[in-house]
Amino acid sequence: MENELLEDKFKDIDEKVDFLIELCQALQQENEELLTKVKTLDGQIAEKSMSEEHFVKKQGYPLKAGYFQGFLCGQLAFNPLKSRLLKRLILKAVPP
């Protein structure tokens, strides 16, 4: 009687461990896919930022992002994506 209870408990534990292993593998695969997507999007943002900067320089608009450099390097420096997006917004908002 006690042996059957122990066997049932071990079977239950085995099933839960198998489920957790499968879940971890699925999450690892999803994480790899998301990392690849982030790298792709980061590259696209870099390309667009460079072309926007080139356009701004070509049009003769002054680049006034240095004015906000302290802010960008301070609070948002830990997140390069947010920093770049904010810098792009600032460049668009500052009149020539």
Are 55 and 65 contained in the same domain?
no
Does the model's pTM come out above 0.75?
no
> In this structure, are 4 and 30 located in the same domain?
yes
Domain encompassing residue 65: 61-96
Asked whether residue 40 falls in the same domain as residue 72, the answer is no
Residues 76 and 40 in one domain: no
pLDDT, tens digit, 9 for 90 and up, residues 59-96: 776 655 444 444 444 444 455 556 666 666 665 555 54
Say yes or no to pLDDT of 11 above 90.
yes
Q: Are residues 80 and 39 in the same domain?
A: no
The number of residues making up the chain comes to 96
Residue 1: pLDDT band with limits 50, 70, 90 = confident
One domain for residues 45 and 13: yes
The total number of structural domains that make up the chain = 2
Q: Give CA separation, 24 vs 12, 66, 68, 78, in Å.
A: 18, 45, 43, 28
Residues 6+ apart with CB under 8 A from 90: 64, 65, 68
| Interval 49-60: pLDDT, tens | 888 888 877 877
Cα–Cα distance, 51 to 53 (Å, whole number): 5
Mean confidence (pLDDT) of the chain? 76
